[in-house]
Homo-oligomer: A and B are copies of this chain.
């Protein structure tokens, strides 16, 4: 009855600990020792599961990308109106935040500033960028916007802005307590409105 599961989640605990520490303190600043201690895993076990720290970092980024994509899928599945589907980007971020608690902005952008270009985790950064661009272009097109490319660029600007505000708020406590995500969504909705009603806008 009180038996441990047949496959003890050593790898799982490593990924969880790595996710928390890498995101909270930065990748370079987080030592392997800290991850091992938090996960309660011995070095030998870790190196049996991952080739090294770089591989652990890559797995951390891959898992984060996967969860973000699933969250967005989930929100999209609840939306029918084409404009709502386009704006679902912001709702998905809100849900991801409430679920995983990413109070320090975009993990992929943070990783991009820390990792060299040939790091094994780098493909995940590009995957994130590509997913955002492609989906937004599709959704904008489906919403009947004249220039999907333009729409994607505008929404990405607001999306990146909101995430960056979170990152800045994390470093400077005294900031005004408004919600950047709600603001970004409002601005996006207003902009989409101008695109739908006035074909000459731009």
Chain A residues within 8 Å of B, Cβ to Cβ:
25-26, 28-29, 104-106, 109-110, 112-114, 116-117, 122, 125-126, 129-130, 133, 149, 153-154, 156-165, 167-168, 170-172, 175-176, 178, 180, 183-184, 187, 190-191, 194
Contact = CB atoms under 8 A, between A and B. Distances in A.
Contacts of A105: 113
A109 B168 contact: yes
A176 B149 CA distance: 9
A191 B187 CA distance: 8
Q: How many copies does the complex hold?
A: 2
Contacts of A183: 153-154, 157
A49 B159 CA distance: 42
Contacts of A112: 167-168, 170-171
27 contacts: A28-B28, A28-B29, A105-B113, A109-B164, A109-B167, A109-B168, A110-B113, A112-B167, A113-B114, A114-B114, A129-B168, A129-B175, A130-B172, A133-B175, A149-B176, A153-B176, A154-B183, A156-B161, A157-B158, A158-B161, A160-B160, A160-B165, A161-B162, A161-B164, A163-B164, A164-B164, A190-B194
A168 to B, nearest CB: 6
A104 B117 CA distance: 13
A124 to B, nearest CB: 11
